[in-house]
Amino acid sequence: MENDNKQQDIIKMFNEIAKTYDIANRVLSMGIDKTWRRAACNLSFKLYGKEKLDKIVDVACGTGDLMIDWDNIGKQNGIEINDIIGIDPSVGMMEVGKTKIPNRTFIEAGAEKLPLEDESVDFISISYGIRNVVQREEGLKEFARVLKKGGLAVILEFTRNDKNNFTSNLTKFYMNNIMPTIGGLVSGSKEAYTYLPESIEAFITSDQMVEELKAVGLEPIFVKGYSLDMSTTFIARKI
């Protein structure tokens, strides 16, 4: 029950900031988040090595930015994608997404209970959302269940950095002091952007994420931190 209540509070928060979410992200990341996502898409297509994909599913899809990237970068690479599906428990976020990509399917659901058949998905992605999945182990097990053998899980996330050096301290200062103020001004909800650094500090490290992926049968084949290790990209293959 406690987990359910916590998850519902997170969903409510995202519903409240949905209309300003995109612009707040662009301002806070100075647009670098687009670069991180596009790099992950390009590398995933290269690592998978197939010209036709049945299905890409983006979990915690929010307003659909990564879905758009999968579509555009697939076309740039000459890759045919039959279907791109967005899944999110926040209806408010998906309503914004539907205005951006009305020709794609959006489904209301959480990562821990995906309404998808076993071994039916080529790629399953989640960008800056796995941190908000309260039942993360169940979510990762679901990723492994729905992926085809050899399919890829693509995760972008702000992982906890336990290092104590100048760059990590600079990143923490930005996250804890500047981000809540700017995010609050843009979105009207300082609480939501105070939650962000707090959730990062309460999250796991990159090494721990690697171990959790391995535990559910997803073998990490690419792990890299970007922008002073502010963001980490994980690509794992179902074995």
Flag whether 196 is in a domain: no
Flag whether 191 is in a domain: no
Q: Residues of the chain with pLDDT > 70: what percent?
A: 91
Instruction: Supply the pLDDT for residue 157.
Output: 92
Flag whether 30 is in a domain: yes
Flag whether 51 is in a domain: yes
Residue-by-residue DSSP string for the chain:
-HHHHHHHHHHHHHHHHHHHHHHHHHHHHTTHHHHHHHHHHHHHHHHH--SEEEEEEEET-TTSHHHHHHHHHHHHTT-EEEEEEEEES-HHHHHHHHHH-TTSEEEE--TTS----TT-EEEEEEES-GGG-SSHHHHHHHHHHHEEEEEEEEEEE-------SHHHHHHHHIIIIIHHHHHHHHHS-HHHHHHHHHHHHTS--HHHHHHHHHHTTEEEEEEEEETTTTEEEEEEEE-
User: Averaged over 52-58, what is the pLDDT?
Assistant: 98
Q: Containing domain of residue 57, as a range?
A: 2-163+205-238
- When divided into structural domains, the chain yields a total of 1
Flag whether 222 is in a domain: yes
Q: What is the CATH number of the domain that holds 86?
A: 3.40.50.150
What pLDDT, in 10s, does the model give residues 123-148? 999 998 999 999 999 999 999 999 99
Flag whether 185 is in a domain: no
Flag whether 34 is in a domain: yes
Instruction: Supply the pLDDT for residue 1.
Output: 64
Flag whether 176 is in a domain: no
